[in-house]
Amino acid sequence: MKIGVIGAGGWGTAIANLLAGSGHSPMLWCFEPELAEQIKIRGENNLYLPGIKLEPGIEPTNDLAQAAKDKEIIIFAVPSHFFRQVFTKAANSPPPKAILVSATKGIETDTLKTMSQVMAELAPSHADQIVVISGPSFAREVAQKRLTAITAASKNKPAAELVQQILSTDYFRVYTISDLVGAELGGTAKNVVAIAAGICDGMELGLNTRAAIITRGLAESARLGIKLGADPMTFAGLAGVGDLVLTCTGSLSRNYQVGFKIGQGAPLGQILAEMKMVAEGVKNAESIYRLSQREHVEMPITEQIYLLIYAGKAPKMAIASLMGRKLKTEFWS
């Protein structure tokens, strides 16, 4: 099939590599012209996936319109804060029947829209052809062909099933669901919880603490999702607890690493300046917090991470605030 992958970070490159290994010739849009040239000549993305030999079928380009033009499927894998800008430039190129796929986890800070909502706004003629892929999937491990399972969410079952078919391999398994809201919220909120888990580990608070953060982080993410119409079962699946556990425990998680270094006492500005790739949770902390305030949903972990990042609250004070909250039931029947 004619496929365009927009964004040559680690995840976009891993997706393009997977497709090329299945016999497709995906066109991969690179923001940096020199990166496109490097992939073409050396067959490697030294910037975002160093040491990984890429499949020869990838066609790198620095021309965004070319990457989207005449494609049957266009997969967007750019940071959420660049998503609208990039999608706007590409939205004029897709053919009428093209399926638009978001591989981006995030919520816009200004509009509080998910990526699929941004796509539907900017390309209304394709609103029923939108698919979201989400789940526990570190780009490096996918590129290394480690066994991985994710989910493809869409209101359009044939579109979700087509994406499922083109992405599935003997090491990459794709399930389908109809819950776009749950898939996107699960994939976004977990980044914030991962920062919290990293902070606790950086402060050497122990495994009990991390387990509590993961469990209660899942609870507050599900509360917000259900308020917005998500299926509660989504948060028990790959886009929910699956992605959350991976991001809160895996050493390859950028959000966990940010939190870990904060917990060790490093300044946030220094941490971010030393990173090549984006830790979405830093921006997601604001967007998820603002969304929870708009919807009047209590999200104490998210609130404390927001205050820590944007109001300079000390990690020890954030933990004290969480532990000092009014005692409540967890479940009661």
Active site residues: 190
Q: Are 181 and 225 in contact (CB under 8 A)?
A: yes
β-pairing, 130-134 vs 59-61, is: unpaired
Residue 174, judged by CB atoms within 10 A of its CB (0-12, 13-18, 19+), counts as buried
Token pair 């975002």 is found at 48
Residue 61, beta-bridge partner list = 29
* Residue 4, SS3 per DSSP: strand
Residue 145, judged by CB atoms within 10 A of its CB (0-12, 13-18, 19+), counts as middle
All residues at 6 or more sequence positions from 14 whose CB lies less than 8 Å from its CB, including other chains: 49, 139, 140, 142, 143
How far is residue 216 from each of residues 189, 210, 213, 278, measured CA to CA in Å?
12, 10, 5, 25
Tokens of 139: 């780009």
* Residue 28, SS3 per DSSP: strand
From the centroid of its chain, how far is CA 243? 9
